[in-house]
Amino acid sequence: MGVPIGYDFLVLATGVTHSYFGRSEFEKFAPGLKSLADAVAIRNKILLAFEQAEAEENPARHGDLLTFVLVGAGPTGVEMAGAIAVLVRNTLKSEFRRINPESAKIILLDMAPRVLGPFSEELAQAAKERLVNLGVEVRLGHGVDQIDAGGVLVDGARIASKTVIWTAGVAPSPAGKWLNVGTDRAGRVRIQQDLTVAGHPEVFVVGDTASLDQDGKPLPGVAQVAIQQGRYAGTLIHRIVTGKSTPGPFRYFDKGNMAVVGKGFAVLQSGKVHISGFLAWLAWAAVHLQFLAQSSLRASVFLQWVWTYATGQRGSRLIVNHHGSEPAKPVAKEAGLALTISSK
């Protein structure tokens, strides 16, 4: 039983979770990426597939183990497809004896006619070409009809895969239900220009779980919106509490969007600036370094990135179990060299 906590002001920033568009049975076979633990679990799944293939003597049985399917070609799917491509083509290249990681298939699926919906057509095309150059198969224009233990069914055709990852959709937290207030069609809480809920000047809802239009368009579910709204709500509450004049309505300042597609390549869209390639990747790296809290962390991450970029080396084959409930087991003791580490 929870203990009630009274409040003068309530700020709800409970974000989103994966949405399987009413097909919750897919979740068991196609995990999504939202948290660091999800990212580690997905990485373990990919590495274990390689270990299983290495242990499998019959090459005819390698197909589904070495086929990685990503459902959803938005920024998450595109970035992940690029990262897996770099992992299998570079990092794992000479790590196995029986299998050739470069033979792995990476398939990125989306029902939309193009990748990277929030970006311009030209940048979406550049990202797609980059993925194809990295060896990713990009299949657009068809939704996934079925996901099960054997793989996926798309447009009547089965793709056999033991590793399907859901990068398609998100659904907001049930904040609208908790508050019993109006939501938009996606279920995000409708908020006012001062980020409060109508009729509740003491309740703020910010970030991905909030719905606010600006210049006739809904604000996107990105970190910049969440950060700026959090700052605004904090300032407003502080000014109310200290009896100072309150600021004008919230206004989102869009600094632009970026997505990284494999090593040394990104797309960047900021106002009229649309660039793709190495320069965009440098900007991506600079922005991400700048957001790290301490200068010592910035320096160590920078040095680590330079080292990884130059050598391609990283702790890629560590299979880590952050949940600690059941240690991840390396499958191919005799064939592989995987390490299993539990962080519990």
Ligand X SMILES: Cc1cc2nc3c(=O)[nH]c(=O)nc-3n(C[C@H](O)[C@H](O)[C@H](O)COP(=O)(O)OP(=O)(O)OC[C@H]3O[C@@H](n4cnc5c(N)ncnc54)[C@H](O)[C@@H]3O)c2cc1C
Positions marked catalytic: 79
Q: Should residue 279 be labelled a site residue for ligand X when binding is judged by CB under 6 A? A: no
Q: Are the CB atoms for 14 and 209 separated by under 8 Å?
A: yes
Cα→Cα distances 28→59, 138, 170, 302, 307, Å:
27, 24, 16, 37, 37
Q: How far is the CB of 29 from ligand X (least distance, A)?
A: 19
Please identify, among the stretches 83-91, 130-138, 221-229, 304-312, the one whose residues bind ligand X according to the rule CB under 6 A. 221-229
Q: How far is the CB of 314 from ligand X (least distance, A)?
A: 19
34 or 114, CB closer to ligand X? 34
Site track for ligand X across 5-34, x = CB under 6 A: --------xxx-----------------xx
Pairing of strands 157-160, 151-154: antiparallel
**Within positions 113 to 152, which residues make up the interface with ligand X, using CB under 6 A?**
none
DSSP string, 212-268: -EETTEEPPSSHHHHHHHHHHHHHHHHHHHTTPPPP---------EEEE-STT-EEE
**The pair of three-digit structure tokens given for residue 237, joined into one six-digit string:** 């509450």
Q: Should residue 108 be labelled a site residue for ligand X when binding is judged by CB under 6 A? A: no
**Within positions 149 to 188, which residues make up the interface with ligand X, using CB under 6 A?**
173
99 or 266, CB closer to ligand X? 266
**The pair of three-digit structure tokens given for residue 206, joined into one six-digit string:** 């910010």
Q: How far is the CB of 109 from ligand X (least distance, A)?
A: 17
Long-range CB contact pairs, 192-196, < 8 A, 24+: 193/249, 193/250, 194/236, 194/246, 194/249, 194/250, 195/229, 195/232, 195/233, 195/236, 195/250
Q: Should residue 208 be labelled a site residue for ligand X when binding is judged by CB under 6 A? A: yes
Q: How far is the CB of 55 from ligand X (least distance, A)?
A: 30
Q: Should residue 224 be labelled a site residue for ligand X when binding is judged by CB under 6 A? A: yes
Size of the site for ligand X (CB under 6 A): 15
Give the binding site for ligand X (CB under 6 A): 13-15, 33-34, 76, 173, 207-209, 221-224, 226
